[in-house]
Amino acid sequence: MESKLSESELEFLQSPQYQLTSDELQLIMSKQGERNQLLFAVMLQYYKIRLFFPTQHDVLVSYLSATLAKKINTEPCYFHELESNHRTAKRFRQLVREYLGYREATNADSNAFIDWLENDLLPKMPQEHELHLAIKSYYNSVKIEPFSEKQQQRYLDHARNRLETKLFDKIFKYLQPNDRDFIDTLLNHAITEENNPKNRSKEINLNTLKKGIPGAKLKHVQFALEKFKAIQSLILPNDTIAGLNRKFLLKYYERISAYSPSHIKELDERSKYATMTVFCHIRSELLADSLADLFIKLVKKIKNSSETYVDKAAVSEIKRVQGKFDILSQITDVAIAHPEGIIKDTIYPIIDPETLKQLKVDLSQRGQWYQKQVRTKMRSLYLHGSRTELLDLLTHLPIEVSEYENKVMLDAIQFILKHRNSRDDIYSKTPPLKHVIPDNWLDFVIDNKTKSTASVNKFNYEMVVCQGHLMKKI
């Protein structure tokens, strides 16, 4: 047993809510004899703190005995009465309950407690400390004395079983025969694969569903999408999982992730189909996140690869005006040496005007040239390498619409997908531009020949929508 209270416990006990009120002090002083007064005071305060009575002279009783003795001008006592069913302690317990408005729990209270656990608390999947705080708050609200730890744990287990049974029954009734057949196929193919590791094929089964997307490569897109589409029929409707914290479902997902296919096959029918459905429901959400991440990485890869390509090409371009950096260095030296000098007298003797004109044209086009080269390369990589996969991803990615800009972006995506297979390079209708295409990209998107907002290049528009702030919306 602890020899003393911790600093945090002492701070807690010294809070105003656990100090004696004038009414409580008056009630204490109404008892006969200083020992009885102190015993009643200790039992009253102990109950206010713990919501149950002490059964021995523990560290909290010692602390309360010492502090309360000062309040009523007496000496601390050791209360052996607490260690037995002494009639004085028994009478004081009843008086404390009556004064604080608490009562001993009945069978009806037990049933109500289990119902509350099942319907209100456990679906929220509280952490252990949150669970105990919520239960203590419940006892306070209904004004009943807490159940024993053993009894409370038994009720918790019973409520958990009832909640799980109710969920599994709902899911089992929701599943169609073809859904159950699909689950059996996932398991059977996974078991076959485990028994024949050398003959593993790229098919959808439980083992392949458990695996993530290997890397940000185009070759991984189609199989990831196949897995995502295959389990959409097992997405649970909102009314089936209403009120359940996602963490509650995650425990079944983790259970299936840890179990082997053969182990899952051994579960009873209801548990097998229900837990597998929850697994596929959560796996669908996680796959959606992975697909969104894959989309973003592939789009960034287009830009990064294009910049790398142009950077290498730019090395030779830098030398287009012979001795460009030497010229700039010489001009700088002359300007520093002759701050008030006349240009024709100080600079022209070193660099002739024609060379300076060439240098001006070269430098003025440098930024535009680089930008155009990067965009041209991005378009090429998108059109000839990534377009099919990116638009396939775009078809299935969940994009939340909560603001006007998001709504416009969604309209742009729907426009792209609707005209995806059109043969013309120029859209016959004008797609959404405002809040979709940044101003500095409009020249790239609008057809250069006509300069009309009605002539939007399809492939350029697709690439900019994918490359632009769409990535922020996914």
Q: How does 106-132 read in b/e, with b if 16+ C-beta sit within 10 Å?
A: eeebbeebbebbbeebbbebbeeeebe
What pLDDT, on a 0 to 100 scale, did the predictor assign at position 363? 59
Residue whose tokens read 């003393």: 4
On whether the CB atoms of residues 313 and 384 are closer than 8 A, the answer is no
pLDDT band of residue 450 (cuts 50, 70, 90) is low
What pLDDT, on a 0 to 100 scale, did the predictor assign at position 359? 63
What pLDDT, on a 0 to 100 scale, did the predictor assign at position 206? 95
pLDDT tens digit sequence for 78-122: 888 777 778 888 899 999 999 999 999 999 999 999 999 999 999
What pLDDT, on a 0 to 100 scale, did the predictor assign at position 1? 44
On whether the CB atoms of residues 461 and 429 are closer than 8 A, the answer is no
State both tokens at 43: 């039992």
Highest-confidence segment of 343-352, 365-374, 437-446: 437-446
Which of 339, 227, 351, 345 is CA-nearest to residue 294? 227
Range in 231-240, 260-269, 390-399 with the lowest mean pLDDT:
390-399
The SS3 assignment for 149 reads: helix
| Dist CA 327 CA 198 (whole Å) | 67
| Dist CA 136 CA 152 (whole Å) | 11
| Dist CA 140 CA 189 (whole Å) | 54
What pLDDT, on a 0 to 100 scale, did the predictor assign at position 453? 54
> Does position 2 have pLDDT exceeding 60, yes or no?
no
| Dist CA 52 CA 54 (whole Å) | 7
Q: Which residue has the higher pLDDT, 10 or 226?
A: 226
On whether the CB atoms of residues 114 and 153 are closer than 8 A, the answer is no
Alpha helices in 143-205 (DSSP H): 149-174, 177-195
DSSP character string of 84-98: TT-HHHHHHHHHHHH
State both tokens at 105: 């729990």
State both tokens at 437: 């295409």
What pLDDT, on a 0 to 100 scale, did the predictor assign at position 229? 95
> What are the CA-CA distances from residue 1 to residues 5, 42, 56, 58, 424 (Å)?
11, 19, 11, 8, 84
Q: Which residue has the higher pLDDT, 322 or 454?
A: 454
DSSP label of 396:
H
What pLDDT, on a 0 to 100 scale, did the predictor assign at position 287? 95
Which of 54, 282, 270 is CA-nearest to residue 166? 270
Neighbours of 96 (CB within 10 A): 19
On whether the CB atoms of residues 80 and 42 are closer than 8 A, the answer is no
Q: Amino acid letter at 213?
A: I
Q: Which residue has the higher pLDDT, 360 or 168?
A: 168
| Dist CA 444 CA 164 (whole Å) | 57
What pLDDT, on a 0 to 100 scale, did the predictor assign at position 313? 76
> Does position 199 have pLDDT exceeding 70, yes or no?
no
| Dist CA 226 CA 287 (whole Å) | 11
pLDDT band of residue 319 (cuts 50, 70, 90) is low
What pLDDT, on a 0 to 100 scale, did the predictor assign at position 228? 95
State both tokens at 139: 């006892």
> What are the CA-CA distances from residue 299 to residues 18, 68, 73 (Å)?
61, 71, 79
DSSP character string of 345-357: HHTTTTS-HHHHH
Q: Using alpha carbons only, give the angle 210, 211, 215 rounded to the nearest 5 degrees.
A: 155
Q: Name the percent of the chain lying above pLDDT 90.
A: 54
State both tokens at 222: 């189609």
> What are the CA-CA distances from residue 2 to residues 5, 13, 76, 242 (Å)?
7, 16, 19, 45
Tell me the average pLDDT across 327-349: 64
Tell me the average pLDDT across 214-224: 91
Range in 205-219, 306-320, 452-466 with the lowest mean pLDDT:
306-320
State both tokens at 15: 């809070």
Q: How does 140-177 read in b/e, with b if 16+ C-beta sit within 10 Å?
A: eeeebbbbeeeebeebbeebeebbbeebbebbbebbee
Range in 21-35, 156-170, 348-362, 452-466 with the lowest mean pLDDT:
348-362
Which of 392, 376, 377 is CA-nearest to residue 218? 392
What pLDDT, on a 0 to 100 scale, did the predictor assign at position 474? 44
| Dist CA 246 CA 457 (whole Å) | 44
Q: Amino acid letter at 390?
A: L
Which of 130, 125, 129, 186 is CA-nearest to residue 159? 125
Q: Name the percent of the chain lying above pLDDT 70.
A: 83
pTM, two decimal places:
0.77
